[in-house]
Chain A
């Protein structure tokens, strides 16, 4: 087959778009095929009630700065409505805790908590920065080849350069649970609940689950402006990426789904679309999640048996739901000054609360008292709602992918549980609600195609990280079938709006024939 260098990208999520932009800028003819009517995937901004818009992913804090810079996202329209959001750990008694990197305020903290805070921040930031450095490259492979050994050595060397004490501490805590670590530092339940929540957000885990220190570090591994709200919702990031890709010559087609990747198991030859059209392609990059790509679109039979099994056993059950409320006005939160409504508000008042929220999820039940990350993006970006009205956007945990009794029956009850919980903090909120949208993991799966509706496309944990992500021997974006690449959150370095996987995959494509 003649290779024109043309690349077909399945999926226009932010990673697919970033990949498209890098490849187009390198002179490759690129076509993106997106199933939804608009690009963006989980980051897309959607109108959920007439006049009210929100995006599933709602806070920007992991965006790869080099991606933003390389692709000039600012010049393609990316603007931040607010940066450096502070976290407010909501207290049921109204004694809320304001958390800033340089200090803690309120929350009835004791001296030990305040004293321990700087050291906790220092260590976690340092360790998170180490994880951050891993993002910029494909994970090293475990072979005896020189380049792989050197890459592995470089990882170890960077770890060693932390200094003896910090390196030891990193090795000690990387695999343990956040609850144990927090107990070493802090007394305040409210503080531990908030920090624990950051560790389990998007994960099938409670604060006592293993490697939640690792997930906490992953969440902090962004380098930029802390938590930011994007003007126009997160979809503005993907719109800017799409604009960058188009400007570089990429073609984007929306509203068409790739039904099948055509392959004989040795190479790929094209794709079949849901309208029956066939597109020939010798290089295909998939932004769909690894399981969908390898087992559904390509098919297990086109993989060697052990490879198929590795993809099959990827853990992909999401447990995160998303609530969008259209509000008639700004809600009031007892004990919180109105000026703080533009911050990041957490309902996770204690590690016990979090654990009790997680427990039912293991048994196929939703949390009666869920934990939540809430923002009111319309406070800083009025374009998201009709004038004077507001949008409440909340990430809600926990909602099992498979609910006992099914989601059709369970969803109204879950919504009630969420609203009851919200009301505990914002007693007058119900009458303000003019419309709502609750996305359960199956809804997220249906809307964006990700297996299990999982935030990361595949659970992010040490056994599914780095050279094990998404699967051993398939962790360098290039798949064992010639011409097929993955670029989604399911690859290294995982989910969150960062663009690293898309960029790294583009590099793998451009890296040529090296196997």
Chain B
């Protein structure tokens, strides 16, 4: 793998840099708007977030993942290291597989979540929203393991939506049809190695493609060529956000506060409080946060992250959530009108014992119509299932739409 040289980057002057896909993004970016995501320029919406969203649900969208923070963990102790670092049992993520997990501090509060890519025996990548290198290095003491950040060494594209498989097929990636959800494999591509994982942040059929930055533009061009007849479209971060809320995926800094950033400990969350108790494995041995989480498991948690199906069609952005007795019991963290579920949906953090499936709550929604503010109290029902979870997401081989 190539290591990018940063001589041309003046970090004292600039906080964000063009991604390896920048030239191509610029061609598609009709709105000429750029935002910053970690170290890179990112596109909020190339033209129209809704159109890009629909591409993601009905055809396929291409999203630049390069800014995602990527860490490489390798060495003889990589597995025991990861098992002490994260809450789930990493031994269950076999080579050629990807697993989602969270990691906590010793108070059992979530620092971040991310995906663990298991390339080969003793060689892993962890992708996360936040930069974790300090914590990962701190945690490496006592392990024979090499931990480094490789964000800039890897260019990434998410290709998400029902036609994504057809596009990869047209790209000539022989055998990609055998990839099951959370599978991971590599292909020879234009003289480089292209890593493809059947993963994504949209709750639909989709892939993530990883290549060295020198081949980024080639990858983009070839994808769009192959996807021309499959409705391929560049997708910005606003569309991705809509897709992930429908899928019920949480985002660090939005749906929970990474524990390092919290001044008040009560503003942090444990995995249980984020609905991620299934990721906590008490049988695998020691991991950071285990004691505190075991205690919480026995004592009960203070919060619960819930999905809300809300009456009416107004997105319940930042709304307060009220219990039956009219007391505020929580807040909405993410909300939208879901075109696919045809419902106003939200993710919310509520105080226990509230948030049992089926519970009827109220949310207070403020919305604007022609610059005038309105307020409605809307009924909200706690639901279990994700708002978007089509069978095609899991089907292998995937259908060639």
Chain A residues with CB under 8 Å of chain B are 264-266, 295, 299-309, 312, 480
For B290, the chain A residues whose CB sits under 8 A away are 266, 304
Across the interface, do A266 and B142 meet the contact criterion of CB distance under 8 Å? no
* B89, chain A: closest CB distance, angstroms: 14
**Seed contacts A266-B290, A300-B142; 8 additional CB < 8 Å A-B pairs:** A265-B285, A301-B77, A303-B142, A304-B288, A305-B135, A306-B288, A307-B106, A308-B142
Q: Which residues of A contact B85 (CB under 8 A)?
A: 305
Q: How far is the CB of B285 from chain A (nearest CB, A)?
A: 5
The answer to whether B141 and A300 touch across the interface, beta carbons within 8 angstroms, is yes
Q: Report whether B285 and A305 are in contact in the complex, using a CB–CB cutoff of 8 Å.
A: no
Beta-carbon nearest neighbor of A295 in chain B: B142
Closest residue of chain B to A302, judged by CB?
B286
When A and B form their complex, what is the total count of cross-chain residue pairs whose Cβ atoms lie within 8 Å?
50
Q: How far is the CA of A305 from the CA of B291 in the complex (A)?
A: 12
List chain B residues, Cβ under 8 A from A299.
142
List B residues 35-84 near A (Cβ within 8 Å).
Answer: 77, 80-81, 84
Are A304 and B286 in touch, CB under 8 angstroms? Answer: yes
* Centre residue among B287, B288, B289 by max chain A CB count within 10 A: B288
Inter-subunit contact A309/B141 (CB<8 Å): yes
CA distance A356 to B135 in the complex (A): 40
How close is B302's CB to chain A, nearest CB, in angstroms? Answer: 15
Residues of B participating in the A interface, judged by any CB pair closer than 8 Å: 77, 80-81, 84-85, 105-106, 135, 138-139, 141-143, 285-291
Q: Which of A264, A301, A306, A480 contacts B142 (CB 8 A)?
A: A301
Q: How far is the CA of A307 from the CA of B290 in the complex (A)?
A: 12
Chain A contacts of B291 at CB under 8 A?
304, 480
Subset of 28 A-B contacts with CB under 8 Å: A265-B84, A265-B285, A265-B286, A266-B285, A266-B286, A295-B141, A301-B77, A301-B80, A301-B81, A301-B84, A301-B143, A302-B286, A303-B142, A303-B286, A304-B84, A304-B286, A304-B287, A304-B291, A305-B84, A305-B135, A305-B139, A305-B141, A305-B288, A306-B105, A306-B106, A306-B138, A309-B138, A312-B141
Known: A301-B143, A304-B106. A264 touches B138 (CB 8 A): no
Q: What's the Cα separation between A43 and B109 when bound, in Å?
A: 45
The CA-CA distance from A480 to B294 in the complex, in Å, is 14
Chain A residues whose CB sits within 8 angstroms of the CB of B138 once the complex forms: 305-306, 309
Which partner residue on chain B sits nearest A306 by CB separation? B106
Residues in B neighbouring A265, C-beta threshold 8 A: 84, 285-286
Give the residues in chain B near A303, CB-CB below 8 Å: 142, 286
A302 to B84, CA, bound (A): 8
Q: Which residues of B contact A308 (CB under 8 A)?
A: 141-142
Closest B residue to A299 using CB positions: B142
A471 to chain B, nearest CB (A): 12
Q: Which residues of A contact B80 (CB under 8 A)?
A: 301
Is the pair A264, B286 in contact by a Cβ cutoff of 8 Å? yes
> Which A residues are in CB contact (< 8 Å) with B143?
300-301
Question: In the assembled complex, which residues on chain A have CB atoms less than 8 Å from the CB atom of B286?
Answer: 264-266, 302-304
Pick from B142, B285, B287, B291 the residue with the most CB of A within 10 Å.
B142
In the complex, A69→B313 CA distance in Å?
80
- Interchain CA distance A471-B143 in the complex, whole Å: 21
A309→B288 CA distance, assembly (Å): 12
Quick one: closest B residue to A312, CB to CB?
A: B141
**Ranked 4 nearest A-B pairs via Cβ:** A300-B142, A265-B286, A305-B139, A304-B288
> Among the interface residues A264, A295, A299, A306, which one has the most CB atoms of the partner chain B within 10 A?
A306
Chain B residues positioned under 8 Å from A302 (CB to CB): 286
Q: B289 near A304 (CB under 8 angstroms)? A: yes
Closest approach, in angstroms, between the C-beta of B105 and any C-beta of chain A? Answer: 7
**Assembly CA distance A295 to B143 (angstroms):** 11
Query: Contacting B106 at CB < 8 Å: which of A295, A301, A305?
Result: A305
Complex Cα–Cα for A304 and B77 (A): 16
Contacts of B81 in A (CB 8 A): 301
Distance between B319 CB and nearest chain A CB, rounded to angstroms = 33
Residues of B within 8 A of A307 (CB): 106
Bound complex: CA A295 to CA B106 (Å): 18
B344 to chain A, nearest CB (A): 41
Of the listed residues A265, A307, A480, the one surrounded by the most CB atoms of chain B closer than 10 A to its CB is A265
CA distance A294 to B123 in the complex (A): 28
Least CB distance, A119 to chain B, in whole angstroms: 45
User: Which partner residue on chain B sits nearest A308 by CB separation?
Assistant: B141
- Distance (Å) between the CB of B400 and the closest chain A CB? 46
Q: In the complex, what distance in Å separates the CA atom of A304 from the CA atom of B109?
A: 13
A312 and B288 alpha carbons, distance in the complex (Å): 16
- Closest-by-CB residue of A relative to B84 is A301
A442–B280 Cα gap in the complex (Å)? 44
Across-interface contacts of A480 in B (CB, < 8 A): 291
B175 CB, nearest partner CB in chain A, Å: 38
CA distance A267 to B372 in the complex (A): 63
Nearest to B145 among chain A residues (CB) is A301
* Minimum Cβ distance to chain A for residue B96 (Å): 26
Assembly CA distance A309 to B142 (angstroms): 10
Give the Cβ gap from B343 to chain A, nearest Cβ, in Å.
42
Q: Write out the residue numbers on chain B whose beta carbons fall within 8 Å of the beta carbon of A295.
A: 141-142
- Specify which chain B residues have a CB less than 8 angstroms from the CB of A304 in the assembled complex: 84, 106, 286-291
A303 to B139, CA, bound (A): 10
Cα of A302 to Cα of B141 in the assembled complex, Å: 11
By a CB distance below 8 angstroms, the chain A residues around B105 are 306
Min distance, Cβ B307 to any Cβ of chain A, angstroms:
32
Residues of chain B contacted by A312 (CB below 8 angstroms): 141
| Distance from B258 Cβ to chain A, minimum over Cβ atoms (Å) | 15
Closest Cβ of chain A to B213, distance in Å, is 32
CB distance from B262 to the nearest CB of A (A): 15
Q: Distance in Å from the Cβ of B19 to the closest Cβ of chain A?
A: 32
Scoring B77, B135, B289, B291 by chain A CB atoms within 10 A of each residue's CB, the highest score goes to: B291
Q: Chain B residues with Cβ under 8 A from A264's Cβ?
A: 285-286
Q: How far is the CB of A316 from chain B (nearest CB, A)?
A: 16
Residue numbers in B under 8 Å from A301 (CB-CB) = 77, 80-81, 84, 142-143
A306 to B291, CA, bound (A): 13
Determine how close the nearest CB of chain B comes to the CB of A440; give it in whole angstroms: 28
B141 to chain A: which residues have CB within 8 Å?
295, 300, 305, 308-309, 312
Q: Cα distance A502–B352 when bound, in Å?
A: 45
> Whole-angstrom distance between the alpha carbons of A419 and B303 in the complex?
69
CA separation between A312 and B138, bound complex, in Å?
10
- Nearest Cβ in chain A — how far from B109, in angstroms? 12
Name the residue in B81, B141, B143, B288 with the highest tally of chain A Cβ atoms < 10 Å from its Cβ.
Answer: B141
